[in-house]
Amino acid sequence: MNKGMLSHYHGMKGMSLLYDYHWTFDLLRQVQEELIRASQLMREHLSLEKCGCGDSEEEVHFYSELLQEVKQAIENKDLSAVPWVQEKLHAYMLQKFKEHNCITRLLRKQQTWILEAQL
């Protein structure tokens, strides 16, 4: 699995946490760690090679923006941003599902329930 695919895996794992568990600040810290890994791995992936799947700086910006929201939620002890983060991750995966080979592969093998989830 290349670093781009691993990056998306961590993004999906963060989304899974938000769907599967009651939202607490401990859970947000776990989501934060997943988004940190997603952002770091995507930066590394793009610095090593041109991505054949279509990953770009847009993905780095996306994961970084979500990470910033989660960090602020933790700092401010405010869970109101959590639905927005969850919705953004879900919409991103739905959008990229058919056009991005790595995400398609991950969703089909590990996370097919995401596409059926209702927001």
Q: Which two tokens stand for residue 51?
A: 């991505």
pLDDT for 107: 65
CA distance 83 to 16: 13
Domain ranges within the chain, ordered by starting residue: 3-116
CA distance 119 to 83: 9
Q: What is the tens place of the pLDDT at every residue in 2-56?
A: 888 888 889 989 999 999 999 999 999 999 999 999 999 999 988 887 777 777 8
Q: Judge whether residue 115 has pLDDT over 60.
A: no
Cβ burial 41-61 (10 Å sphere, 16+ → b, else e): bbbebbeeeebebebeeebbe
Question: What's the predicted TM-score (pTM) here?
Answer: 0.83
